[in-house]
Amino acid sequence: MPRLALIATGGTIAGSGSQENYTAGVLGADVLLGAVAELRRLADWHVEQPFALDSRDMEPAHWLLLAARVQAMLDDPAIDGIVITHGTDTLEESAFALDLLLPAGKPVVLTAAMRPATSLSSDGPLNLLQAACVALHPAARERGVLVVANGLIIAAQQLRKTSTHAVEALQPQAGAAPLGQVIGEIVQLPPGQPPRSAPLQVQPGELPRVDILYAHAGATPDLIAACVAAGARGLVLALSGHGSIPQSWRPALAQARASSLQVVRATRISAGGVWPNCNEDDTANGWLAAGPLSPQQARVLLILALAGQAHPDPQPLSGLFARYHA
């Protein structure tokens, strides 16, 4: 019998109440496991619950804690794969953080739900079962972190939450296809390329502050100075169009760069991304371009990269972002 680890972290999948009014993260890991009889038929389970959160309250320190628990499961020869339950709201960020922090190898599969466990037609039980099926599938090895929801298998980097309430909210980013699908317990996952890069090295400890500023008509530049004054080491700009910098922001951004703040151009548009030296001179200004990463994913990468820079083997920032420009 294979052995899987279930690491439960909260979310609507562990929520109690009706769809319009519920509390996330109140049901324990054993309750989730006990709700689906097939899970015990598929595998023996090691169960952990490092925290139980509505994922809106997830912090970068939780990514490191979670990565450490997953790493322990990867190192345990008795465990064949890892399933993590999580809220959908910041799943994009945690999935990407884990993908950056963990080595490829055994399957690591995140899942979630849009409807609380106690509501009618809850999607959590089937998502959990299908996540377990993927975690047991040989083609899920060496793929980096995967997300399984609503019958889709999605690479962590491509995950987007696309609806506030629809059951099919978790999708690959615009223009990308899912890696595979799950029909009942049948996993359709064609073999993939091995993941590209070694995991980022980040020591536990205080993580740098990185803020996201959202551009809009009439956006004033004073928030840039406020971020610097608050101790931010990085700023991700969720810009209009192809990463267009408002003219009124340029002097404040130049000042921020002069005080070593890292600036990433990203976009508030869901498709297309922001590419280096397109529409702006990133090289001259010392800015980074997010490529296909969403502003919140670019922030994850910048936090972890800046945290790694304090350590003996600094990871050059432009090279890290360039991984996503190919």
Q: How far is the CB of 20 from ligand SIN (least distance, A)?
A: 13
**What is the greatest pairwise CA distance in the chain?**
63
Could you report how far apart the first and last alpha carbons of the chain are, in Å? 41
Rounded CA-CA distance 73/41 in Å is 21
Q: How far is the CB of 82 from ligand SIN (least distance, A)?
A: 19
- Residue that the structure tokens 């910098």 belong to: 245
Note the residues at the interface with ligand SIN (CB under 6 A): 10-12, 24, 54-56, 87-89, 112, 114
- Residue of 12, 85, 111, 267 with catalytic role: 12
Residues 6+ apart with CB under 8 A from 316: none
Q: How far is the CB of 36 from ligand SIN (least distance, A)?
A: 18
The answer to whether residues 134 and 109 touch, using CB atoms and an 8 Å cutoff, is yes
Which three-class secondary structure state does DSSP give residue 165? coil
What is the per-residue DSSP string for 36-49? -HHHHHH-EEEEE-
Give residue number: closest CB to ligand SIN. Answer: 87
Rounded CA-CA distance 169/147 in Å is 12
| Residue 283 is among the residues annotated as catalytic for this protein | no
Nearer to ligand SIN (CB atom), residue 151 or residue 192? 151
What is the per-residue DSSP string for 85-120? E--STTHHHHHHHHHHHS-SSS-EEEE--SS-TTST
- Give the tokens for residue 46: 């090691």
Q: How far is the CB of 57 from ligand SIN (least distance, A)?
A: 8
Q: How far is the CB of 95 from ligand SIN (least distance, A)?
A: 12
Nearer to ligand SIN (CB atom), residue 59 or residue 281? 59
Q: What does DSSP say about strands 16-18 and 234-239: parallel, antiparallel, or unpaired?
A: unpaired
Nearer to ligand SIN (CB atom), residue 84 or residue 239? 84
Residues 6+ apart with CB under 8 A from 124: 12, 13, 14, 32, 35, 85, 112, 113, 115, 116, 117
Q: How far is the CB of 15 from ligand SIN (least distance, A)?
A: 7
Nearer to ligand SIN (CB atom), residue 162 or residue 255? 162
The answer to whether residues 52 and 26 touch, using CB atoms and an 8 Å cutoff, is yes
Residues designated catalytic = 12
